[in-house]
Amino acid sequence: MSHTRRRFITALAAVTAGSSAGCLGRPDRPSADDGPDGEPVVDLGVPCTDSGGSVDLSGGRPAAAFDGTRATPEATYADGDLPLRGTPLHLGHERSALVDGDMSGGVGHDGIPSIDDPRFARAGDVELPGCARVFGVALGGDVRAYPQRVLVHHEIVNDVVGGEPVAVTYCPLTGTAQGFYRGGTEFGVSGRLVNSNLIMWDRARDVRWPQIAATGIEVGGQRDTDGADRHLGQSLREFRVVWTTWRRWSDRHPETLVLTEGTDAARNYNRDPYGSYEPPVSGHYSTEAGRQPNFPLLAYDSAESKRVVVGARTGAGAVAFDKRTLMESSVLTGTLGDAPVVAVADEGITTGYVYANPEGLPVERDGDAYAIDGTSAPPDGLPLDRLPAFDAMWFAWHGFYPNTGRVEI
């Protein structure tokens, strides 16, 4: 039976996220799930409660108040302009199927409020538990961390990072954190879902954009604007958002800013409104629990639904790599459409990068770097075309891309 997010949140309101101490991993796979200090190498959604109590992220200042940030737009965009890809991304279904498959998530238009005036603090001025989930962004030398405990209440942050107006987005139901260039508009939460995934709306023209597909599927009718239809079938430009832990991100980027709770919204940021998909403590990435709430999918698969994958797509197709295997193996190869691709692991921040590799060049681990074509390069800097990639739950990735290439899945 399908449940709306509102009913789901209400049902879990009494379930606290702090039912278990520490960041726990699955005991049957310690080598894959447990890193130093108990942090998961592959995030299975278990609660992070080693803070000894509630966490205070109150206050903060606009990013422009800090030296070293580029928090003022440096590009000129007309009102409503959106930076779009030159070639639209592959869709695993006809666009009409995504429109027909969208459904209410149980909240109204902007019922989940985006953060439009984000406030930040320096890393040294906050006390987050090391295993707290954060979504890391580094653009043009400007480094930010967006705690999951804040974004789970808002799903979208309209920000300016590295001089670019951007939207940092998070869908709790699909476990997807993605970044989009927003140009001369802002994004909001439409209150609609497809494949359990957040459908965004741009506030200039009200084109609807499923987060995972990153492609305009319909005009929602909240705005009476000319020219909205031209965005249908077009895809947003993206940037990388890293799903990791606070300790890992702040060790890698000690200069990072961190989003605070200064959102002017009445929210309890010490409680995850989704709790877990399977109370009390298994977490929404737990591969041992079934997918809940059971919103309809456009495609189903027999593989474990909450397996964490690193997915990438272009105009030619899609591919997904099992993240656990990638972290263990460091290098995996596959195909996207008919073209070879390679994925490499960055265990330091527990993420993976996917590259087009048209010549099938061998890639091998070289200490903390990778050897390719006679050179050594960091995981995020191989001399290949890096593809936009992000973590997702398998059921959601497959729901959008049923013909995806799959590696170790």
Q: Which candidate, 359, 362, 381, places its Cα nearest to that of 373?
A: 362
Query: Per-residue pLDDT for the chain (409 aa), expressed as one digit of tens each?
Result: 334 454 433 333 333 333 222 232 222 333 334 454 556 666 655 566 665 568 899 999 999 999 999 999 998 899 999 999 999 999 999 999 999 999 999 898 899 999 999 999 999 999 998 988 999 999 999 999 999 999 999 999 999 999 999 999 999 999 999 999 999 999 999 999 999 999 999 999 999 999 999 999 999 988 888 889 999 999 999 999 999 999 999 999 999 999 999 998 888 888 877 765 443 333 456 666 677 777 999 999 999 898 999 999 999 999 999 999 999 999 999 999 999 999 999 999 999 999 999 999 999 999 999 999 999 999 999 999 999 999 999 999 999 999 999 999 9
Q: Is 15 within 8 Å of 279 (Cβ atoms)?
A: yes
Which pLDDT belongs to residue 389? 98
User: Could you tell me the pTM of the whole model?
Assistant: 0.90
What is d(CA 15, CA 273) in angstroms, rounded to the nearest whole number?
A: 9
User: What is the predicted pLDDT for the residue at 49?
Assistant: 61
User: What beta strand segments (E) does 39-123 contain?
Assistant: 103-104, 120-122
Q: Return the closest-CA partner of residue 386 out of 397, 372, 396.
A: 372
Torsion of Cα atoms, 11 then 28 then 18 then 129, to 10°: -130
- 267: Cβ contacts below 8 Å, ≥ 6 apart: 153, 261
Domain ranges of the chain: 63-242, 308-407
DSSP 12-60: TTT--S-SSSS----TT-HHHHB-GGG-BSS-------TTSS-------
Residues in the chain: 409
Residue bearing tokens 């877990």? 276
Q: Which pLDDT belongs to residue 150?
A: 94
Phi, psi for residue 92 in degrees, rounded to 5: -80, -5
Q: Which residues contact 52 (CB under 8 A, 6 or more apart)?
A: none
Contacts of 231 (CB under 8 A, 6+ apart): 82, 84, 205, 207, 216
How deeply is 365 buried, as exposed, middle or buried, from its count of CB atoms within 10 A (0-12, 13-18, 19+)? middle
Structural contact between residues 66 and 120, judged by C-beta atoms closer than 8 angstroms = yes
pLDDT value for 294: 79
